[in-house]
């Protein structure tokens, strides 16, 4: 079985006294071993919520998680604290958005990593830990010196590398990177992405990369999932989706990025705003902003249409994957 | 670190010197003079006045007086009290111990109790106990300390008759050895309680808000994601980061207590520097006043330097 993670009808709802916010709604996703999946979408589309929910790091008091998330034979949604503890970092590790703050400012870096190492190997000897950590530091291109330094003595890019090294401490099967390179300048970002891709070839790790920067996905992932307002619009191989986007939203998203090559075109955006996520909406969530929306789109939720291992959730396509109406070839005009 | 400590100590010494100088000037700028107090209201004999002024050195220009005083102070001689006609140094050494005993006991108790309460409230945020603690903190924080002292005296001394209301020892029944210590402790209960009750809310709120803030920091989320136990995260990572503001507040508050305890000492007739200072102010007893201010500024400077050093050992970011 090659499948590492399968998410089925996964929903995350934030609840407070006065209202519910449906942050992630009935998403379905499969990740195979060795994949690197980039989840893209605008701010507030539920990318980080999805990741945090998978890691079960959201406060249980005010969040409801439903659905299934089968991760190597265990359902992440149903695990109790003890089982969760065993899975965390051993199998499932994460690198967060703001790695600048990912370490305690008043403890030296080395001992912090030691503590993390000891969570799952409490009896590890000091030499064993040290050699493991220095190996990882070298892997992310840092000198051993970092071990005895405090976080404030490193630059943002170095701290990011430390975070990545920490996430690899126990050889996790799945690594979630939540905007892990967003705060960095493009040069450092490029270097780190290269290192990540190289690392994956040596370590057997599957990666989910959450970002709003499509170029990051293009540079470092083989699959892409486009998310909008808590739902997936399109999932598929990067080479297919970026070259030939099927969903009107993906088209809109891609046309808001400038291209390096070719004719200089005016950038177009998608008019309108994200819908209010505290109101349940009938039909396709993107319909109000979609220029090709029909009556059907406003009333009925589209089902996933499979097209050579890619999936798109749009009424423009028949279940076989062909355009239902040739005139409605997805386009995006201002 | 060594460089940092040296610099802090040097800054402390400089502070003392500046405070010393400002005090010298301010006291002499204030209206009234000690000679009139000694001579009495109705007596205005110019010969006596000149003689007294000469005796205490007030006839010399202020800058000369300052030089002489500074020179003597450096050798530990703070002059002779104009009102009591005793050596100022001896008077202060006799009284600084009770003051420090009172202040340090209260400050340490308050920081421990307040921080523990804050920790508990932060861990159980929104619980009934948190609400009670926070409410009580507001009430006690807004109470004037001397008034609280009086109320405690009314309740525990006048009505219940459980505790002595004034002094440090029972003068009618002199004790020795262990009984003496016990006697002092019994006398300390009310003044210490007053100070502690007023100080607790400060530490309570600082600890609570600081813990809540650190709990939401990204590195805590990361540590949770690693599967580290909540207890270890709290004891090692949250506390160490959350304790920093408490250290700062402890320094400020202790310095404030050393100088501000005078009112409480008056309420409880505690034989500390506070009551000595208040009489010295009223009677313009320059040498005594200067002496007390000097000792206080030294105490405050020492506390500040110590707090700075403690802070630096806890927070690597400020060891510059």
Interacting residues of A50 by C-beta distance below 8 A, sequence separation 6+: A10, A12, A24, A27, A39, A210, A227
We find that the CATH architecture of domain B88-318 is: Orthogonal Bundle (1.10)
Contact of B230 with chain A, judged by CB distance below 8 Å, is answered with no
Residue B42 pLDDT exceeds 80: no
Residue A110 pLDDT exceeds 80: yes
Yes or no: say if A318 and A305 are a contact pair by the CB < 8 Å rule: yes
In this prediction, residues B39-49 reach a mean pLDDT of 76
B272-303 per-position pLDDT tens digit: 888 888 888 887 788 888 888 888 888 888 88
> Which parts of chain A fold into alpha helices (H)?
47-54, 81-87, 109-120, 126-139, 156-167, 186-202, 214-220, 238-243, 248-255, 295-299
Rounded (5°) CA angle A250-A253-A258: 130
Confidence of residue B166 (pLDDT cuts 50, 70, 90): confident
Compute the distance between CA of residue B23 and CA of residue B290 in angstroms, rounded to an integer: 7
The answer to whether A98 contacts B228, with C-beta atoms less than 8 Å apart, is no
Contact of B31 with chain A, judged by CB distance below 8 Å, is answered with no
- Domain A3-91+172-328 fold is Rossmann fold (3.40.50)
Angstroms from B229 CA to nearest CA on chain A: 8
Rounded (5°) CA angle A209-A210-A215: 80
Question: What is the per-residue pLDDT for B105?
Answer: 93
Cβ neighbours of B240 in A, within 8 Å: 104, 106-107
- Select from A96, A106, A115 the Cβ nearest to the Cβ of B316: A106
In this prediction, residues B73-101 reach a mean pLDDT of 85
Cβ neighbours of B225 in A, within 8 Å: 55, 57, 88-89, 93-94
Compute the distance between CA of residue B248 and CA of residue B266 in angstroms, rounded to an integer: 28
Cβ neighbours of A104 in B, within 8 Å: 219, 237, 240-241
Angstroms from A162 CA to nearest CA on chain B: 13
Q: Is the dihedral of CA B223, B227, B230, B233 positive or negative?
A: negative
**Window from A47-51, A313-317, B31-35, B90-94 with minimum mean pLDDT:** B31-35
Question: What is the per-residue pLDDT for A333?
Answer: 46
Chain A residue with Cα closest to B240? A106
Establish whether this prediction's ipTM goes over 0.85.
no
The answer to whether A106 contacts B241, with C-beta atoms less than 8 Å apart, is yes
Question: What is the per-residue pLDDT for A329?
Answer: 59
Compute the distance between CA of residue B110 and CA of residue B231 in angstroms, rounded to an integer: 25
Yes or no: say if B206 and B168 are a contact pair by the CB < 8 Å rule: no
Mutation target to probe the A interface, by most A beta carbons within 10 A, among B226, B239, B242, B314 is: B226
Cβ neighbours of A82 in B, within 8 Å: none
Compute the distance between CA of residue A294 and CA of residue A290 in angstroms, rounded to an integer: 9
Sheet holding A206-211, edge to edge: A92-95, A174-178, A206-211, A36-40, A223-228, A231-237, A310-313, A304-307
The answer to whether B227 contacts A90, with C-beta atoms less than 8 Å apart, is yes
CA atoms within 13 A on the CB side of B32: 14
Rounded (5°) CA angle B245-A107-A171: 135
Q: What is the DSSP letter of A140?
A: T
User: What six digits make up the tokens of A283?
Assistant: 């039909």
The answer to whether A115 contacts B236, with C-beta atoms less than 8 Å apart, is yes
B173-212 per-position pLDDT tens digit: 777 778 888 888 888 889 999 999 999 999 999 999 999 9
Question: What is the per-residue pLDDT for B193?
Answer: 92
Q: Which residues of chain B form beta strands (DSSP E)? A: none
A243-273 per-position pLDDT tens digit: 888 888 888 888 877 766 767 777 777 777 7
Cβ neighbours of A119 in B, within 8 Å: 226-229
- Select from B221, B223, B315 the Cβ nearest to the Cβ of A106: B315
Residue A276 pLDDT exceeds 70: yes
Number of cross-chain residue pairs from A and B with Cβ atoms under 8 Å apart: 69
Q: Which helix (H) or strand (E) holds A93?
A: strand A92-95
A141-183 per-position pLDDT tens digit: 888 889 899 998 988 888 888 888 888 888 888 999 888 877 7
User: What six digits make up the tokens of A11?
Assistant: 């929903």
Cβ neighbours of A120 in B, within 8 Å: 227
The answer to whether A84 contacts B227, with C-beta atoms less than 8 Å apart, is yes
Question: What is the per-residue pLDDT for B115?
Answer: 94
Angstroms from A119 CA to nearest CA on chain B: 6
Contact of B173 with chain A, judged by CB distance below 8 Å, is answered with no
Q: Is the dihedral of CA A143, A145, A149, A153 positive or negative?
A: negative
Chain B residue with Cα closest to A82? B227
Residue A332 pLDDT exceeds 60: no
User: What six digits make up the tokens of A25?
Assistant: 């709604």
In this prediction, residues A236-241 reach a mean pLDDT of 89
Yes or no: say if A194 and A273 are a contact pair by the CB < 8 Å rule: no
* Percentage of chain B modeled with pLDDT above 90: 25
Under DSSP, is residue A5 helix (H, G, I), strand (E, B) or coil? strand
Domain boundaries, chain B: 88-318
User: What six digits make up the tokens of A134?
Assistant: 């220095």
Chain A residue with Cα closest to B316? A106
Sheet holding A3-15, edge to edge: A20-32, A3-15, A63-71, A74-75
Cβ neighbours of A107 in B, within 8 Å: 237, 240
Contact of B126 with chain A, judged by CB distance below 8 Å, is answered with no
B216-273 per-position pLDDT tens digit: 888 898 898 888 888 899 989 999 899 999 998 998 888 888 878 888 888 888 888 8
In this prediction, residues A89-111 reach a mean pLDDT of 85
- Select from A86, A104, A120 the Cβ nearest to the Cβ of B241: A104
């Amino acid at each position: 079985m090659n499948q590492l993670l399968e998410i089925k009808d996964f929903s995350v709802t934030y609840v407070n006294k006065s209202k519910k916010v449906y942050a992630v709604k009935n998403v379905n996703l499969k990740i195979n071993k060795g994949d690197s999946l980039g989840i893209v979408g605008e701010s507030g589309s539920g990318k980080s919520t999805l990741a945090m929910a998978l890691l079960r790091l959201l406060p249980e008091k005010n969040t409801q998680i439903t659905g299934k998330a089968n991760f190597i034979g265990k359902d992440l949604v149903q695990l109790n604290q003890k089982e969760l503890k065993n899975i965390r970092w051993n199998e499932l590790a994460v690198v967060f958005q703001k790695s600048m703050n990912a370490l305690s400012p008043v403890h030296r870096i080395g001992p912090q990593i030691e503590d993390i190492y000891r969570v799952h190997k409490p009896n590890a000897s000091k030499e064993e830990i040290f050699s493991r950590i220095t190996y990882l530091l070298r892997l992310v291109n840092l000198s051993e010196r970092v071990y005895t330094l405090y976080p404030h003595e490193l630059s943002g890019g170095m701290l990011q590398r430390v975070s990545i090294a920490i996430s690899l401490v126990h050889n996790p099967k799945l690594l979630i990177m939540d905007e892990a390179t967003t705060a960095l300048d493009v040069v450092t970002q490029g270097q780190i992405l290269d290192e990540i891709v190289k690392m994956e070839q040596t370590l057997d790790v599957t990666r989910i990369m959450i970002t709003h920067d499509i170029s990051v996905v293009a540079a470092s992932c083989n699959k892409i999932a486009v998310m909008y307002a808590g739902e997936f619009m399109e999932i598929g191989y990067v080479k297919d989706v970026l070259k030939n986007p099927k969903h009107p939203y993906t088209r809109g998203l891609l046309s808001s990025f400038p291209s390096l090559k070719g004719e200089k075109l005016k950038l177009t955006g998608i008019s309108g705003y994200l819908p209010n996520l505290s109101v349940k909406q009938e039909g396709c969530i993107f319909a109000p902003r979609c220029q090709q929306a029909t009556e059907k789109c406003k009333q009925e939720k589209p089902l996933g249409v499979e097209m050579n291992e890619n999936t798109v959730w749009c009424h423009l396509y028949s279940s076989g994957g062909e355009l239902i109406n040739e005139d409605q070839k997805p386009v995006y005009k201002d | 670190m060594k460089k940092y400590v040296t610099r802090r100590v040097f800054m402390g010494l400089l502070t003392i010197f500046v405070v010393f100088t400002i005090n010298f000037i301010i006291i002499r700028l204030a209206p009234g003079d000690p000679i009139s107090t000694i001579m009495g209201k109705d007596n205005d004999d110019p010969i006596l006045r000149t003689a007294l002024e000469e005796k205490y050195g007030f006839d010399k220009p202020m800058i000369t007086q300052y030089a002489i005083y500074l020179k003597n102070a450096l050798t530990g001689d703070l002059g002779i009290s104009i009102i009591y006609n005793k050596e100022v140094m001896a008077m202060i050494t006799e009284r600084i111990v009770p003051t420090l005993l009172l202040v340090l006991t209260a400050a340490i108790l308050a920081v421990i109790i307040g921080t523990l309460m804050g920790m508990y409230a932060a861990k159980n945020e929104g619980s009934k106990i948190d609400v009670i603690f926070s409410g009580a903190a507001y009430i006690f924080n807004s109470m004037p300390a001397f008034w609280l002292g009086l109320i405690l005296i009314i309740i525990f001394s006048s009505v219940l008759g459980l505790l002595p209301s004034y002094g440090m020892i029972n003068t009618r029944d002199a004790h020795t050895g262990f009984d003496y210590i016990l006697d002092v402790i019994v006398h300390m209960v009310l003044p210490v309680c007053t100070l502690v009750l007023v100080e607790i809310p400060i530490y309570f709120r600082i600890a609570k808000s600081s813990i809540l803030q650190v709990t939401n920091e990204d590195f805590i989320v990361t540590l949770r994601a690693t599967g580290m136990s909540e207890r270890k995260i709290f004891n090692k990572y949250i506390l160490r980061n959350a304790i920093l503001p408490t250290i700062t507040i402890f320094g400020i508050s202790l310095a404030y207590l050393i100088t501000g305890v005078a009112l409480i000492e008056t309420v409880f007739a505690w034989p500390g520097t506070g009551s000595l200072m208040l009489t010295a102010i009223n009677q313009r007893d320059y040498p005594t006043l200067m002496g007390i201010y000097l000792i206080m500024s030294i105490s405050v400077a020492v506390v500040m330097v110590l707090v700075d050093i403690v802070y630096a050992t806890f927070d690597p970011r400020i060891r510059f």
